[in-house]
Amino acid sequence: MIGNDSRPAAMVADGRAPTMTAVGQHRLGDPDVLELVTVPVPRPGPGEVLVRVAATSLNPTDWVHRRAEGFLGAIPAGAPPRVLGWDVSGTVECVGLGVTLHDVGDDVFGMLPYPGGYGAAAEYVVAPARALVPKPRDVPHTHAAAVSLAGVTAVQALIDTAHLRPGDRVLVHAGAGGVGHLATQLAAGHGAHVVATASRGHHDFVSECGACQVIDYTTTPFEDEAHDIDVVIDCVGGDYPDRSARTLRDGRGTIVSLALNRTERLPARPGLRHKLMLVEADHYSMCTLEELLADGVLTPHLAATFPLDRAADGHRLGETGHVAGKIVLTT
């Protein structure tokens, strides 16, 4: 353990800085660029905590930023390896100055600030204290990590942006995906009538998440089957917002698009709200997520779990685009 002096227990006798194992990359590319690297254990600054990571989970942003510059830019030659990962669940190892939300030994989970706060695919990570909340006692670290970024996205899309109300008809695209299956659970838990798109093999799974109707997007134009929709959660982008607008009740409603790199805002028209949303690491959203997880409203489905040294396999699986739920990495 470490105290407020920020000296990890791994500190060696001669005072050298402690090191840890992480999943890093020195260049952009396919999953083979990922490797186990030895890097210094980060030190928390004021308002931050050091977390001993038990689990992190993969999101599409992980493989997007592994292979392309994205929000993070290129990896300069000679720079330390880039360690991705935005979801974290683990135990507080030490706290920085001014931290009162958490104590050493607390089990916590959360998401690092997006996009610039990556680094959770490692044995330790530093996070703002307000980005973390207590992990419910009965929820495993694997499940807490799986729900963080995807769950906050669902909360911010449905509750904060679309202002979901009981009785609303909600269309969730990619209903079996990481965000999609949690958005389906959240909407159903709030008394909405959920229509979701998913391939045929995932229909039973999405129905179990709470969807009243599941449309096979591979064989049927969803706009021919979904009607009188009030809220659309678009995890796909491309032409989906335009097509989704045809499903709205009397042409009025809210479309929240999450695939920002593939989406253009729809032309403004009366009664239509099209929001392009980028998830934020927000303490209020995390507190909401903690409550939803503890109450069983949200139950993340784990498609696969890999140790850190098989992170590349997790990326390969995720990039197939046919995963139901989340992929988790454990330390």
Is 247 a residue whose pLDDT tops 60? yes
| Range list of β-strands (E), 104-147 | 107-111, 124-128, 132-134
Which among 325, 310, 179, 312 is positioned nearest to 257, based on CA atoms?
179
Is 79 a residue whose pLDDT tops 60? yes
pLDDT recorded at residue 229: 99
Is 260 a residue whose pLDDT tops 80? no
Q: How confident is the model at residue 4 (pLDDT cuts 50, 70, 90)?
A: very low
The domain locations on the chain are 19-150+281-330, 162-276
pLDDT recorded at residue 16: 62
- Conformational region of residue 29, where left means phi above 0, alpha means psi within -120 to 50, and beta covers everything else: left
Q: How confident is the model at residue 71 (pLDDT cuts 50, 70, 90)?
A: confident
pLDDT in tens, 268-320: 889 999 999 999 989 999 999 999 999 999 999 999 999 999 999 999 999 99
Q: How confident is the model at residue 257 (pLDDT cuts 50, 70, 90)?
A: very high
pLDDT recorded at residue 70: 82
3 state SS of 225: coil
Does the fold of domain 162-276 match that of domain 19-150+281-330? no
pLDDT in tens, 309-320: 999 999 999 999
Q: What does the mean pLDDT of the chain come to?
A: 94
Selected residue with higher pLDDT from 15 and 84: 84
Q: Could you report how far apart the first and last alpha carbons of the chain are, in Å? A: 17
3 state SS of 243: helix
Q: How confident is the model at residue 6 (pLDDT cuts 50, 70, 90)?
A: very low
Is 13 a residue whose pLDDT tops 80? no
CA dist 301 and 116 (Å) reads 27
Which among 42, 40, 39, 43 is positioned nearest to 23, based on CA atoms?
39
pLDDT in tens, 112-152: 999 888 999 999 999 999 999 999 999 999 999 999 999 99
Find the range with the poorest average confidence among 37-41, 68-72, 91-95: 68-72
CA dist 29 and 11 (Å) reads 34
pLDDT recorded at residue 115: 86
pLDDT in tens, 169-196: 999 999 999 999 999 999 999 999 999 9
Decide yes or no: CATH 3.90.180.10 for domain 19-150+281-330.
yes
Is 15 a residue whose pLDDT tops 60? no
pLDDT in tens, 195-226: 999 999 999 999 999 999 999 999 999 999 99
pLDDT recorded at residue 284: 96
CA dist 164 and 155 (Å) reads 10
The CATH class of the 162-276 domain is: alpha beta
